[in-house]
Amino acid sequence: MEKQIENMCRVFLLVLAILGIQEFQVLFHLQAEDEKEEQGREICDASPPELSCNSEYKYRSADGSCNNLNHPDWGRSYTAQRRFLLPEYDSDCNSPRQKRYRKMPLPSSRKISNLLFQNRNSTTDMDPKLNVLHMSFGQFLDHDLILTPLIRGTFACCGEDRDSDLCIPITIPLGDPFFKEDCMPLTRSASLFQQREHNNLVGCREQINDVTSYIDASNVYGSDMNKANRLRTFQNGTMRQRNAGLPDGGTSKCVYDDTTHEYCPNAGDVRVNVVPNLGSMHLLFVRYHNYIAKQLAAINPLWNDEILYQETRAIVSAITQHVVYSEYLPLVLGHDIMEQYKLLPKSNGQDTVYDEKVDASTRNSFGVAAFRFGHSQVTNHQKQFSKTYSRVVSKNIEDTYHHPHMCVKTEGKGSDGVLRWQLAEGTAKTDGVFESGVRDKLFMDSAGRSLDLPAINLQRGRDHGIPPYWKWRKFCGLNHKTFSDHNTADELKLQNIYRNLENVDLFAGAMTEKHVKGGVVGPTFACLIAKQFTLYKKGDRFWYENDGYTGFSEDQLTEIKKVTLSSIICQTIEVDEITRHAFLVMSNTNPRVKCNNLTHPIWSPWRNLS
């Protein structure tokens, strides 16, 4: 049996090294017919085939390998997620954390969601300054950084397989305000064990990250070479499009009614069709890539397709980093936290911060809890606005999950309307309250079956062995013995639900904290997010401000730092006027201006580099 598992592991790791996510999922869907074979996936070593790096190659690899020349697997796709703190499973370094510190069962995740996260008002509290685009960009960014695959298969996790080691179903309490069943099905995250010693497991269950950990626009380009190649035209450095929209060939989860004019869009990340606001972000950056490739081709007529593609990809990755650290992240963390962790980019010039000892790999607690704060920003609707920012279409969000209609109609111009809506309308306040469209009606199917997003977040944290909330407070140097960063109402709710501070889940405790100054998260999530983005910055050999052959010249960096998300939108969608700060609603301090009044980069510093 041990020999069979060892052979399976070798095959599995080889597959991970050469296959894209779609083939990877199909493989384990087939294996799931034999539960023992599926479990074999869980006990594989996490060491992929040995890599050979070319230290002279100036561009990023597609899968993130060889970013760190001494540790080629750091940040690579299809590798185990790292941790800030050791995991806490119930037993065997494997079983989900489902018991209190006093060995009593933890409350049902749906019960916690009902008592802590339910919106009990008839209206949504809107953020006074942030717009929907801030939420949407955060979702888009998250998909650049982490994708945790699930164990694949046809498991009846609310039926005969409810007690299977492959399942972690959520109990629905009696008298639930929405669900009539007593169980919400959920499979466990696919995982690896990291070490073996004399054929015995000595490491803990570690979940996988299917995408690169770096801020490298892998959500645009893909996290393996096969996916990257499928998205290219191999002509003039451009990426595939269909009728000015995203290319076809997307996931099977996509649903559409008009078979003549609609299709499933494809992108660098498989989640592109989850909701229209996300699909519009993907198209924005594909168009921007093709726009830049055209500019570079015009000034470098001798460049071949490969140079044009790689140079454009490098620029888009750099601009993504610049937008994240100069525009998006300060609104999440506030200026003081940004300063404390030295996350703000320099206003001009280079800033070489790369440290080869820093592992930039995405940490488990960041992906499964801290960076899910944005789920509280989601509103109950998806909309399209006209060029004059008036509403054209409004749909309930549950009617748009996996339906790309709003993005693909009228030859891709539907995405423009979705983006204009995101610019003009405010997002929900990040207040620990979740709207019914995600808390009751997530991924509702034709039979009316659906899920609860914050309940899944809690359950997934337990699945991953995430230590309780108080240990993260201690890790961050915060008071971990009281609910000192909660208002009285939320403190009482947490005490009523958990009875003891030691039992509180990370997501429940941190999601309900009072916000840090100038930010939209509490001090615990601010700490974890800031620490993770410090790793992304210092552990990236291709960080956009670094000097050297992997970086940009002073003149090039000057042009990159001229770019704002507003200027990107002006170059890529139908809009005449736009707010100067793309993540803020229009106001006296953030008025709409003509696109030609914004500063746009010039591309002459890239002339004749090769």
Residues annotated as catalytic (active site), given as ranges: 143
Contact 157, 187 (CB under 8 A): yes
Contacts of 103 (CB under 8 A, 6+ apart): none
Contacts of 146 (CB under 8 A, 6+ apart): 81, 209, 211, 213, 362, 366, 367, 371
Residue identified by tokens 């409004």 is 394
CA 571/CA 557 separation, integer angstroms: 19
Contacts of 52 (CB under 8 A, 6+ apart): none
CA 336/CA 467 separation, integer angstroms: 27
In 212-321, at which residue ranges do the beta strands (DSSP E only) sit? none
Contact 105, 559 (CB under 8 A): no
Q: What are phi and psi for residue 17, nearest 5 degrees?
A: -75, -25
CA 442/CA 451 separation, integer angstroms: 5
Contact 308, 299 (CB under 8 A): no
Structure tokens at 378: 């989601």
Q: What are phi and psi for residue 559, nearest 5 degrees?
A: -70, -40
CA 502/CA 505 separation, integer angstroms: 9
Q: What are phi and psi for residue 82, nearest 5 degrees?
A: -95, 175
- Dump the DSSP string for 306-374: HHHHHHHHHHHHHHHHHHIIIIIHHHHH-HHHHHHTT-SPPSSS------TT---PPBHHHHHTGGGGG
